[in-house]
Amino acid sequence: MKCVASSCLLGKRATLLVAAVLMSAGCTQRIKSVPVSGRVMLNGAPLADVAINFSPVTGGDKAYAAYGKTDKDGRYTLKLVENGQPGATSGKNRVTLNESSGVAESDGGGPKVVLKLPPKARDGTMTIEVPADGTNAADFSF
């Protein structure tokens, strides 16, 4: 079979287009995550500006860390660190909460920052079981 220049060029372009589509589909593939949100409370009051991090206890290729930050009502919604996709990895997750002091960092001459949350909130010893279908009640009260 004889190849005509224009039809060979068209075939090569089509092959390249298919390859590009397949490669980009792999790059934008969604990671399996479930919706997770909740609230952080301290002495019965909502706690704002708390960074909350979930890290799957069992690692692997399908375990991704997630993060969020509480609003003025103490509410947060998690996103995957990997790609910003909403949600978290289901299963057992280690939880850390870090307060924002609202004060700019300095050379030590500034006011002493008083942390409100207990040490267990920051030390990585807290865990939560994220259900396979997610949760909107991943609440923490201190």
Summarize pLDDT for 74-112 with one digit per residue, the tens.
999 999 999 999 999 999 999 999 997 666 555 666 666
Q: What pLDDT does residue 23 have?
A: 43
Looking at per-residue confidence, does 130 or 7 come out higher?
130
Q: What pLDDT does residue 25 have?
A: 43
Q: What is the mean pLDDT of the chain?
A: 82
Show Cβ contacts of residue 9 under 8 Å, excluding neighbours closer than 6 positions.
none
The Cα–Cα gap between 122 and 115 comes to 10
Choice among 15-19, 82-86, 135-139 with the minimum mean pLDDT: 15-19
Q: What pLDDT does residue 107 have?
A: 63
Q: By C-alpha distance, which of 120, 127, 32, 117 is closest to 70?
A: 117
pLDDT higher than threshold 90 for residue 28: no
Compute the C-alpha angle 116/118/122, nearest 5°: 100
Query: 121, 113 in Cβ contact below 8 A?
Result: no
Query: 54, 92 in Cβ contact below 8 A?
Result: no
Q: By C-alpha distance, which of 56, 50, 58, 52 is closest to 33?
A: 56
The Cα–Cα gap between 18 and 2 comes to 24
Q: What is the pTM of this model?
A: 0.72
CA 124 to chain centre: 16
Q: By C-alpha distance, which of 94, 98, 93 is closest to 124?
A: 94
Q: Average the pLDDT over 58-86 and give the result.
A: 94
